[in-house]
């Protein structure tokens, strides 16, 4: 899933200053699952914004909505009446959701600020209750079949492809004793799988054009296009 962190309330406040009517908009997708931008978080943030306005003796109306997905126009368009009626939307979706809402809002008659309430951080997975870890960087050229199902691009601090650097110590990465060395994990996994020969092969330079380096990416399935 896409994981994110709620922005500091001061930062959100600063971005909607002078907006008397605000809609806090949640998303039932990834950000609900990682407890960042679902219905519950919308409610908490909306309350905080109301309290902050009251403390400053400002008139501000803060509304709350949560839609199925902010990364799909159809769900956003269903909410058009509520959006067209406010001065600002604080989106608690990932960056993709914020941009989609902003695009819809830009087509409306009045100028409506659409601001992010979340810092989108990574593509990750739940490791335990309340803990998520980065697992993928969307590089567009998966090597997990070689590395025993552990991604060196996302999980090695240097995205190395040919084994651990000199900073691997007792299973940990040199950058932080809390961070696992991805290549130690890969080594251990390949040992279990009886595929250590994957470690001794020199992996050639990669074609990063499948990643962000090749410019913004678009995926098209022709038969689904209307």
Partner 1 sequence: MSTDSRLKRLLEAGEFVVTGECGPPKGANVEKLEKKAQCLIGYVDAVNVTDNQTAIVRMSSIGAAALLVRMGLEPVMQMVCRDRNRIAMQSDIFGASALGICNMLCLSGDHQKFGNHAAAKNVYDVDSIQLIDIVRRMRDEGKVECGDEIDGVPRMFIGAAANPFADPFAFRVARLGKKINAGVDFVQTQCIYNMDKFKAWMRQVVDRGLDQKVHILAGVTPLKSLGMARYMAKNVSGIELPDALIKRMKDAPKESRAREGIQICIEQIQQLRSIPGVHGIHLMAIEWEHKVPEIIKDAGLYPRPA
β-bridge partners, 122: 3
Q: Residue 65: what are its φ and ψ, rounded to 5°?
A: -145, 150
Cβ nearer to partner 1, comparing 47 with 169 = 169
Residue 96 or 161 having the CB closest to partner 1: 161
For partner 1, the binding residues in 182-211 under the rule CB under 8 A are 184, 187-188, 199-200, 202-205, 208
Q: Which of residues 126-185 bind partner 1 (CB under 8 A)?
A: 157-171, 174-176, 181, 184
Count of CA atoms in the C-beta half-sphere (13 A) of 137: 18
Length, in residues, of the chain = 226
For residue 137, the minimal CB distance to partner 1 (Å) is 12
Minimum CB–partner distance for residue 120 and partner 1 (Å): 17
Query: 181-184 long-range CB contacts below 8 Å, 24 or more apart?
Result: 181/156, 182/150, 182/151, 182/152, 182/155, 182/156, 183/152, 183/156
Distance of closest approach, residue 115 Cβ to partner 1, in angstroms: 23
Nearest alpha-carbon partner for 114 in 87, 145, 133: 87
Q: Please identify, using beta-carbon distances, which residue of 21 and 189 lies nearer to partner 1.
A: 189
Nearer to partner 1, 99 or 198 (CB): 198
Applying CB under 8 A, the residues found at the interface with partner 1 are 157-171, 174-176, 181, 184, 187-188, 199-200, 202-205, 208
């Amino acid at each position: 899933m896409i994981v994110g962190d709620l922005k500091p309330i001061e930062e959100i406040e600063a971005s909607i200053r002078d907006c008397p009517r605000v809609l806090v908009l949640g998303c039932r997708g990834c950000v609900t699952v990682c407890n960042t931008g679902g219905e519950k978080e919308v409610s908490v943030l909306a309350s905080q914004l109301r309290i902050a306005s009251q403390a400053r003796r400002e008139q501000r109306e803060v509304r709350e909505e949560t839609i199925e997905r902010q990364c799909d126009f159809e769900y956003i368009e269903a909410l058009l009446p509520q959006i067209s009626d406010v001065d600002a939307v604080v989106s608690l979706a990932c960056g993709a959701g914020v941009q989609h809402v902003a695009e819809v809002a830009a087509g409306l008659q009045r100028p409506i600020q659409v601001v992010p309430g979340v810092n989108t951080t990574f593509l990750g997975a739940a490791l335990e209750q309340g803990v998520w870890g980065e697992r993928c960087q969307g590089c567009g050229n998966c090597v997990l079949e070689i590395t025993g199902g552990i991604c060196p691009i996302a999980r090695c601090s240097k995205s190395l492809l040919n084994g651990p650097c000199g900073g691997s110590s007792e299973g940990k990465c040199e950058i932080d004793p809390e961070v696992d060395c991805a290549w130690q994990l890969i080594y251990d996994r390949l040992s279990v799988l009886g595929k250590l020969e994957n470690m001794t092969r020199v992996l050639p330079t990669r074609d990063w054009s499948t990643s962000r380096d090749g410019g913004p990416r678009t995926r098209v399935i022709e038969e689904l296009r209307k």
